[in-house]
Structure 1
Amino acid sequence: MSQYIEVGEHRLMVLGGNQNQPGIPIIFLHGITLSANFWIPNLPAIVRENIPWYSLSLPGHYPDYYQPELLTADMLADILMSAIQKLVGKQQVALVGYSTGGFAALNLAAHFPSQIQGVFCISGFSQGKWHGFLGWLQRQAQNGVMGKLFCKMLCKALTLNQASYKLGCSINIGDRKAYWNAPTLETTVDAVYPDVIKHNLNNIVDLFEWFADMDISHLLPKIQAPTLILSGDRDPVIPLAQAKFIASQIPESQLIVFEGMGHMFFAERSLAYQNLLTSWIIEKKL
């Protein structure tokens, strides 16, 4: 059952489970253009059955239709921490973030180091200039009114139906066979698509533009929490070099590289990811 949290003018969606179970809550943060429902088909059994968890939507994504004049890394950290504290108070949490959600997790851990017990960053970044097709879209969003209009038209075309959405996402893969044959591709698209088509595209293209100017590289050494970084060596959006840089800057970090994986971990390496997350939870005693 979803609920909504108001943080200032922003309205964020929250899903969760096992709130009465002992343990450190895990906060899941999705990637750009996705939704809080992204994580539902991608939770390993240990989380679904035993761990208190929440999936929190990012600002600018459905159901958040508020259009600020600007969003910075500092503002993003404050919004998300306010939402987290409305859920769990001052209790420490662990963070699992994918892509832009990975950036958000690192950003939270750097801004609020005493509040974060652990970070699992999947295909995340510290500097928001993307590569590949998403990077090209991002540059269109930076190119004035006409560029943003073009970007919105492309986003609309790629979300006309689930087939076009899956095809659009396939631009970001490294392992085509694994992606198209993954059962989790269908379940994940089924979960997120109803939310994706409700996004305000004005918000989405603004986020594309704003993230290009975000850089928390200088803040990474402030992260105190043990940080596990997962990357694919064929990621066209966030190159492996970015993951290696992040790992080099965080005092207690570990980098895991999945060979052949692109940016769509949930379909390209679903079982390996779930096993890795399960091992991380057990090792860190979450």
Structure 2
Amino acid sequence: MPEYIEVGEQELIAIAANQNQSRIPIIFLHGITLSVNFWTANLPPIVRENLPWYSLSLPGHYPTYYQTELLNVDMLAEVLMSAIHKLVGKQPVALVGYSAGGFVALNLAAHFPDYIKGVFCISGFSQGRWQGLLGWLQKLSQSGAMGKLLCKILCKMFMLNQALYKLASSMNAGDRQTYWNAPTLQTTVDAVYPDVIKHNLNNLVNLFECFADMDISHLLANIRVPTLILSGDRDPIIPLEHAKFLASRIPDAELIVLQGMGHMFFAERSLAYQNLLTSWIETKLCNPNQ
């Protein structure tokens, strides 16, 4: 059952499994406009069957509420870390984050190094000014009342039905043929779409604007845990050059680039992602020295 977590003026939600396992918990963080159910369609067997895992929502995503004051880097870290402590206590955790969830994972590792054991960052970033379709929507969110209204209208249009949602999302892909043919595309959309259509559009527009002002580039050197940066060389939202920048600034980082992949790893390179995450868990989290 979903668990609601109140942290000050924020409310988050988490879903979890295998909590009775004694291994290190893994916290999964979804991307902006998605939901906690994103990861239920994209877990490798080693996680789904054997490890304690938690999918934790970002602020402002259905079905939770979000105070309208603008989030900042420090507040975001404090809210998410407090939620994690309420879920698992003050034991160390591993983080797996996608896109904005990748940013959150890096931010947590920089702010709270004693509580983070490792980071698996997929198409993440340290500076929240996006490119591509999301970047365009983000610019609208920063363009006064009319820009915000147009941003909400477009978001609503993209969410009218699953076909339009998948079509809009395809603009974030680098390998669109694989994207459209992937079985994981439909299973993922089936998992998130019932939540997506209930998002508060004011919250999303606020978040677009908030992220544009967030930058943790100066904090990357504080991340001392093993960090895997997974990127595609055709990502229209977070260019490969930014992934290379992350890897160059994080002391114990490894960069893996999947050729032809854009921003939609779960449909474009699902098997490669699952194999990489499984290997990372086995080598970084499950060896006898962990």
Structure 1 counterpart of 2:47: 47
Measure, in 2, the Cα distance between the counterparts of 1:227 and 1:154: 35
Distance 1:142 1:19, change over 3 A: same
Structure 1 counterpart of 2:102: 102
1:164 aligns with 2:164: yes
* Residue 270 of structure 1, CA deviation: 0.2
Following TM superposition, where does structure 1 have runs of at least 4 consecutive aligned residues deviating by more than 4 angstroms? none
Q: Aligned AA for 1:264?
A: M
1:217 aligns with 2:246: no
1:217-236 equivalences in 2 (<5 Å): 217-236=217-236
Structure 2 counterpart of 1:57: 57
1:83 aligns with 2:69: no
Structure 2 counterpart of 1:258: 258
Structure 2 counterpart of 1:193: 193
TM-score of the two chains, using structure 2 as the length reference: 0.98
1:1-286 equivalences in 2 (<5 Å): 1-286=1-286
* Residue 285 of structure 1, CA deviation: 2.9
Measure, in 2, the Cα distance between the counterparts of 1:52 and 1:66: 27
Q: Aligned AA for 1:113?
A: P
* Residue 6 of structure 1, CA deviation: 1.0
CA RMSD of aligned residues (A): 0.7
* Residue 66 of structure 1, CA deviation: 2.6
Measure, in 2, the Cα distance between the counterparts of 1:176 and 1:85: 39
Q: Aligned AA for 1:45?
A: P
Give the conservation status (yes or no) of the 8 Å contact 1:73–1:216.
Answer: yes
SS in 2 for 1:67: coil
Give the conservation status (yes or no) of the 8 Å contact 2:68–2:206.
Answer: no
Give the conservation status (yes or no) of the 8 Å contact 2:120–2:227.
Answer: yes
TM-score of the two chains, using structure 1 as the length reference: 0.99
* Residue 108 of structure 1, CA deviation: 0.2
Give the conservation status (yes or no) of the 8 Å contact 1:31–1:101.
Answer: yes
Q: Which runs of 5+ in 2 are unaligned?
A: none
Measure, in 2, the Cα distance between the counterparts of 1:112 and 1:252: 16
Q: Deviations over 1:73-113 (max 9, x none)?
A: 11100000000000111100000000000000000000001
Measure, in 2, the Cα distance between the counterparts of 1:104 and 1:249: 17
* Residue 251 of structure 1, CA deviation: 0.6
Give the conservation status (yes or no) of the 8 Å contact 1:11–1:63.
Answer: no
Q: Aligned AA for 2:174?
A: G
Measure, in 1, the Cα distance between the counterparts of 2:67 and 2:190: 27
